[in-house]
Amino acid sequence: MTLLQIADLRVAYPGPGGPVEVLHGVDIEVAAGGRVALVGESGSGKSVTARSVLRLDADARVSGTVRLAGTDLLPLPAKRMRAVRGSRIGLVFQDPLAALNPVMTVGWQICQPLVIRGVPRRTARRRGIALLRDLGVRDAAERFDDYPHQFSGGMRQRVVIAIAVIAEPELLIADEPTTALDVRVQAQVLELLTGLADERGMAVLLITHDLGIVAGFAEQVVVMRHGRVVERGATDDIYYRPTHPYTRGLLGAVPRIDADPAVRLATVPEEEPVEPGPDATATATATAAPAPAPAPASTNEVTAP
Ligand X SMILES: Nc1ncnc2c1ncn2[C@@H]1O[C@H](COP(=O)(O)OP(=O)(O)OP(=O)(O)O)[C@@H](O)[C@H]1O
Instruction: State the CB neighbour count (10 A cutoff) for residue 49.
Output: 27
Q: How far is the CB of 61 from ligand X (least distance, A)?
A: 11
Q: In the complex with ligand X, which residue's Cβ is closer, 200 or 209? A: 209
Q: Does 103 bind ligand X (CB under 6 A)?
A: no
Distance CA 43, CA 213 (A): 19
Q: What is the chain's alpha carbon radius of gyration, rounded to the nearest angstrom?
A: 20
Q: Does 40 bind ligand X (CB under 6 A)?
A: yes
Strands 220-225, 228-234: pairing is antiparallel
Q: Which does 45 bind (CB under 5 to 8 A by kind): ligand X, Mg ion, none?
A: ligand X
Contact between 173 and 54 under an 8 Å Cβ cutoff? The reply is yes
Distance CA 226, CA 42 (A): 9
Distance CA 203, CA 169 (A): 9
44-83 footprint of Mg ion as x/- string (CB under 5 A): --xx------------------------------------
Contact between 207 and 36 under an 8 Å Cβ cutoff? The reply is no
Q: Does 45 bind ligand X (CB under 6 A)?
A: yes
Binding part of the chain for Mg ion, among 43-51, 139-147, 233-241, 263-271 by CB under 5 A, reads: 43-51
The β-bridge partners of 18 are 15
Q: Which helix (H) or strand (E) holds 10?
A: strand 2-15
Distance CA 13, CA 73 (A): 19
Q: In the complex with Mg ion, which residue's Cβ is closer, 47 or 235? A: 47
Binding part of the chain for ligand X, among 35-43, 99-107, 143-151, 279-287 by CB under 6 A, reads: 35-43
Distance CA 204, CA 159 (A): 18
Binding-site residue total for ligand X (CB under 6 A)? 13
Q: Does 43 bind ligand X (CB under 6 A)?
A: yes
Binding-site residue total for Mg ion (CB under 5 A)? 2
Q: How far is the CB of 48 from ligand X (least distance, A)?
A: 4
Residue length of the chain:
305
Q: Is 20 helix (H, G, I), strand (E, B) or coil?
A: strand
| Burial class of 210 by CB neighbour count within 10 A (0 to 12, 13 to 18, 19+) | middle
Q: In the complex with Mg ion, which residue's Cβ is closer, 208 or 220? A: 208
Q: How far is the CB of 227 from Mg ion (least distance, A)?
A: 13
Q: Which helix (H) or strand (E) holds 222?
A: strand 220-225
Q: Does 13 bind ligand X (CB under 6 A)?
A: yes
Q: Is 115 helix (H, G, I), strand (E, B) or coil?
A: helix
Q: How far is the CB of 94 from Mg ion (least distance, A)?
A: 5
Q: Does 57 bind ligand X (CB under 6 A)?
A: yes
Binding part of the chain for ligand X, among 39-47, 117-125, 146-154, 159-167 by CB under 6 A, reads: 39-47
Q: How far is the CB of 222 from ligand X (least distance, A)?
A: 12
Q: In the complex with ligand X, which residue's Cβ is closer, 200 or 226? A: 226
By CB under 5 A, name the binding residues for Mg ion: 46-47
By CB under 6 A, name the binding residues for ligand X: 13, 22, 40, 42-48, 57, 94, 209
